[in-house]
Amino acid sequence: MRAETLPFTQLISPTLFVLGAVYFLGPVLPLSRTWARAVVFAAVWLIIGRYLIWRLFTTVLPAHGVWHEVAWVWVCFVVELLALADALILYLIFLRKSDRRAEANRHAARLHSSPPHELPSVDVYIPTHSEPLEVLEKTITGALCLEYPNFTVWVLDDGRRAWLKEFCEAKGVGYLTRPDNSYAKAGNINHALTKTSAEFFAVFDADFIPQRRFLTRTMGFFSDPRIGVVQVPHAFYNRDVMQANLMQANLTMRKSVPDDQRFFFESIMPSRDAWDAAFCCGSNSVTRRAALRAIGDALPTQSLTEDILLSLMILREGYITRYLCERLAVGLAPESIRAFFVQRRRWARGAMQILYLAAGPFGTRLSFAQRLFFLPTHWLTQALLLLMSIVSPLVFLWTGVSPLINVTTQSVLYYLVPMVLAVVGGIWVYAPRQYFPLAAQVLGTFQSFKVLPAVLTTLLRPFGHVFNVTPKGTAAVESGYDHGIFWTAALLMAATSVGLLINTSPDWRIVTQLSLLPMVALWSSINVIVLFLVCMLALQAPVRRTEERFAIDESVQIIGASGALSTAVVKDISLSGAAMVVDRPLDAKIGERLRLFITEVGFVAATVIRSNDGQVGVQFDLPASAERDLLIRKLFTAGRDTHNDVGSAWSATATMLTSIWKTRTELLPSASPATFAATDVERLPARSLVVPPQPPVIRLSDLSEARRGIAA
């Protein structure tokens, strides 16, 4: 059917179908039921199917003429086809979704009613290499606060730092080193497995702080002998790169878009779990030693992403990875652009490496669905599609070579527009609070500039790549901007704008298909917006606070320098200070010393740094002490959140667009990344060292209750 001969009402009928079936009907369907998810799937792929038929038989196969023009048509089509194939895999995953919270409730009740000596033993591993004390102290203290009777905390130090050994001894946790750093994190854990003997082991990256309920909420799942690993989400208490760099114009914008991993951990992983195709993500997981023994009693070391390979290997032995979508550990999102790309390139390389392994998705003893769902090709196809969407209109504007032939405004309206709306709308229906199309487009384009080269080089040379640790804490703090991404995006944006300008003049016009200019102009305008936001994202936001603040509404007692007692309400608090509202004017000048009594913590010394109209800001003087540990326990292990719930996809898009004219215009000076001064750190000998843990004199939970009793 030729779209050019159809009346307008018929031209827009596919779009109206998508709006009705997907955007209006989809959100009201009971998506907890498989049939409802299948309805959305069918509506979306009906539209995509008709689009692909038109795309192949009308815009690709009839291509003829100059070889490079025909080749360009085919290249664009193949990239689009590969991306849609990966989209199909995602939609198939979305046909199911699990919610294990009720099951976790039953398991937790059973564990609480069981005698402590009957509960299985757990080794809690904290592998570390170069993270500073400011990061490690939170994770170690959080691990000591776990509400479970039979666990042991071990710090696995590949940095062999004497100060960390002393810190662990002071805290009573176990400390391990090894003779070498072979196989990075996986090798570190494998060495620990030879020195410990619990029935299960939990892993927390050096920056991930377990919540108190972590083990009571996860261990119960192992009553099912099929469960080899229990994984929970990676949640963050700081802002990620997009939230920090793009949304810094005001606080409202920073709260409008979730961290970029929310979509994966809150939408994709619950759906994978429903297919028994969830996988271990390294940190925030518990593993059954018996499952590990089935594959050699060690984590696999053939890939930079040993976690997903672990799930594939134990899956072949009959063990599955269970996923519980609860915020049971919080960590640091990459704190700089450099840290972001260290992490993402390692993930991308590791994911592509498994394609070459016998234990990967093409190996034996996996079902077709398991092979399909463990394919990591989205790292390649999504990057190719996003960059192709930027380059295609540029090529057309500057050379007149079109990415598809026989296309008209009517056919775009009849086939292309409904397809785009269907693909985006279907994902939005499945993940309305996690998927934000513009944010995904901007971040995807941003990371494609550096991730795609890493993927392509790994495909050509899959092994021999170094495991780079993601910088955390002071090691990640840097200023400046990413020169490569900023200027590449800026040049692409300029070329697109100039190309549009040239083709508006009859004297300079390059494009001969004038009927396509309105469509290309719209496409190019969207690209200019995306590229401008990419440029903004490439500007490293300055770090104004050393510690993240938590919103809180809690009374504190204040003792002034004169001994006068007053009351205030804390509005936000961190390890470094607090903002308070006093019930009556506080007779305290800036620089004056105070003492605050904080519930569950005790007395904390502080200095007034701000006092205005009943609003008082204080900076804590909180050295290593029981009070510091108790404040870490209070802020980081009780499920507090530094983030508010995000808005809708529409509000997030609006605030992102608003940020274009609210962003700062200056470029921060480029600075070399901060590094931990290795020359100033005393190193232990390169040997296997085991410092066993010691029982605490008093548990932090007991001490916290005592301080709570004083406040009452």
| Residue 604 CB neighbours (<10 A) | 22
Q: How much is the pLDDT for 242?
A: 79
Please, what sign has the CA dihedral across residues 259, 261, 266, 268?
A: positive
Q: Is the pLDDT of residue 303 over 60?
A: yes
Q: Is the pLDDT of residue 687 over 70?
A: yes
- Which are the contacts of 27, defined by CB distance < 8 A and separation ≥ 6? 429, 432
Q: Is the pLDDT of residue 484 over 80?
A: yes
Q: How much is the pLDDT for 152?
A: 97
Q: Return d(Cα 137, Cα 321) in angstroms, integer.
A: 30
Tell me the one-letter amino acid at 702: D
Q: How much is the pLDDT for 653?
A: 73
Rounded (10°) CA dihedral 502, 504, 508, 509: 100
Strand pairing class (227-231; 320-323): parallel
Q: How much is the pLDDT for 679?
A: 44
| For range 383-411, the mean pLDDT | 93
Residue showing tokens 């972590």 = 214
CATH number of 550-641: 2.40.10.220
Q: Return d(Cα 86, Cα 355) in angstroms, integer.
A: 15
| Angle at 254 (CA atoms; ends 251, 255), nearest 5 degrees | 95
| For range 247-270, the mean pLDDT | 76
Confirm if 590 and 608 have CB atoms less than 8 A apart: yes
Look at 303-312, 409-418, 588-597 and tell me which has the smallest mean pLDDT.
Answer: 588-597
Q: How much is the pLDDT for 664?
A: 52
* Residues above pLDDT 90, as percent of the chain: 72
Where is 615: in which H helix or E strand?
Answer: strand 615-621
| For range 221-240, the mean pLDDT | 95
Backbone φ and ψ of 174, nearest 5°: -70, 150
Strand ranges for 56-166 from DSSP E: 122-128, 151-157
| For range 313-329, the mean pLDDT | 97
Residue 126 three-state SS:
strand
Q: What is the DSSP string of 214-232?
A: HHHHHGGGGGSTTEEEEE-
pTM: 0.92
Q: How much is the pLDDT for 244?
A: 78
Task: Write out pLDDT tens, residues 518-575.
Answer: 889 999 999 999 999 999 889 887 766 678 889 899 999 998 877 878 889 999 999 9
Confirm if 434 and 258 have CB atoms less than 8 A apart: yes
Q: How much is the pLDDT for 675?
A: 37
User: Higher model confidence: residue 439 or residue 613?
Assistant: 439
* CA R_g for the chain: 28
Residue 451 three-state SS:
helix
Token pair for 331: 């960590």
Task: Write out pLDDT tens, residues 167-222.
Answer: 999 999 999 999 999 999 999 999 999 999 999 999 999 999 999 999 999 999 99
Residue 50 three-state SS:
helix
User: What is the average pLDDT score of the chain?
Assistant: 90
Q: Is the pLDDT of residue 672 over 70?
A: no
Token pair for 639: 């499920």
Token pair for 443: 């971040």
Token pair for 147: 């509400």
| Residue 154 CB neighbours (<10 A) | 26
Q: Return d(Cα 558, Cα 341) in angstroms, integer.
A: 45
Where is 581: in which H helix or E strand?
Answer: strand 577-582
Q: Return d(Cα 467, Cα 458) in angstroms, integer.
A: 13
Tell me the one-letter amino acid at 479: S
Backbone φ and ψ of 197, nearest 5°: -145, 15
Q: Return d(Cα 331, Cα 238) in angstroms, integer.
A: 8
- Which are the contacts of 30, defined by CB distance < 8 A and separation ≥ 6? 36
Confidence label for 669 from pLDDT (cuts 50, 70 and 90):
very low
Domain boundaries, the chain: 550-641
